[in-house]
Amino acid sequence: MKKEKSCCESSVDANCCEPISAESCCQPIDTESVEEAVKRSYGQLWASQLAHKSASSRKKLASMFTAHRGLLKELKPREGMKVLDIGSGNGETVLTIAEKVKPNGKAVGVDFSPEGIELSKEKAKERELEDVAEFHLADAAELPFPDNTFDAVISECVVSLIQDKQRALREKVRVLKPGGRVIMHDVVTLAPMPKSLRENRKLYCDCVGGAVSLEEYVEMMKKAGLTNIKTVDFTKGVKKMINLDVVVKALNVKDDKTAQEIVNFARKGGVGYALLVGTKK
């Protein structure tokens, strides 16, 4: 069976920012806030893709970051739907959805990285999808849309990067039409994470340090006004990436103790990957 890839897995595999910097893509600077580190890290990653001017090489690069098939299967995008993708990154997921919802639907992406938005807009133009695919520079905590706008709000590997997850979930629900669904894929913790790993910025930027348990996500979803909550554990599909020492090498963790802690935590099955779905009342 073909293995599904998460964006985080791909970024680890690809050592994504090598073309523009000797640092790995999510190498934080200590004086930055966590949010600034995330913004800068992903900004570098999307800028490295923006530097490739040909549509074919952009597509090749983006093939490492296409929407997780499980999410699209759950979403079932169809003509006329209005879908919002929070943390749309290089725009690949939005553009995939735009092909399905055109001509009357809308696929909208939001990201706080200006480089990601610029890249996504260029790609929409290249693929003649500008009428269906929109991209907005905005923070997940303050979405620039009226209440009850979308049929579905999705996110992939993004909520784990947001500190105030409850607020971000409330915003998702606010812009969702009644009966619409929040569908998210994210890293989850399957055991309590050691404090040292929680505090490791690099791990945070790689979607692991800020991850919470499935139960915590479900609780937050309920509090945000979602019902009929369903969770699907995709951990097996990404097990190879989260259980190997090679991940630590790719993460470029300099200190051996932290590296060992990451390996131990992953070996004990501490990191998982899940799909979470909820419906607005």
Binding site for ligand SAM (CB under 6 A): 7-8, 38-39, 42, 65, 87-89, 93, 110-113, 116, 139-140, 156-158, 161-162, 207
Closest CA to 230 of 71, 87, 97: 71
Contact 237/185 with Cβ under 8 angstroms?
no
Least CB distance from residue 10 to ligand SAM, whole Å?
8
For residue 15, the minimal CB distance to ligand SAM (Å) is: 15
First CA to last CA distance, the chain: 37
Q: Which is nearer to ligand SAM, 16 or 260 (CB)?
A: 16
Between 138 and 268, CB nearer to ligand SAM: 138
As measured in angstroms, the least distance from the Cβ of 42 to ligand SAM is 4
- CB of 129: closest distance to ligand SAM in angstroms? 17
- Of the pair 87, 192, the CB lying nearest ligand SAM is at 87
Q: Whole-number minimum distance, CB 175 to ligand SAM, in Å?
A: 14
Nearest to ligand SAM of 24, 113 (CB atom): 113
CB of 77 to ligand SAM, least distance (A): 15
Residue placing its CB nearer to ligand SAM in the complex, 83 or 161: 161
20-26: long-range contacts (C-beta < 8 A, 24 or more apart)? 20/44, 20/47, 20/48, 20/51, 23/252, 24/202, 24/250, 24/251, 24/252, 25/205, 26/202, 26/205, 26/206
Who contacts 121 (Cβ-Cβ below 8 Å, separation ≥6)?
A: 91, 135
Distance, CA of 97 to CA of 108 (rounded, Å): 9
Candidates 59, 45, 51; CA nearest to 87 is 45
What is the nearest approach in angstroms of ligand SAM to the Cβ of residue 260? 25
Measured from the CB atom, the residue of 7 and 203 that comes closer to ligand SAM is 7
Could you give the CA distance from residue 129 to residue 140 in angstroms, rounded to a whole number? Answer: 24
**What's the rounded Cα separation, in Å, for the pair 111 and 91?**
9
Quote the CA–CA distance of 77 and 98 in Å, as a whole number: 9
Neighbours of 195 (CB within 10 A): 8
Instruction: Report the residue number, 265 or 273, with the smaller CB distance to ligand SAM.
Output: 273
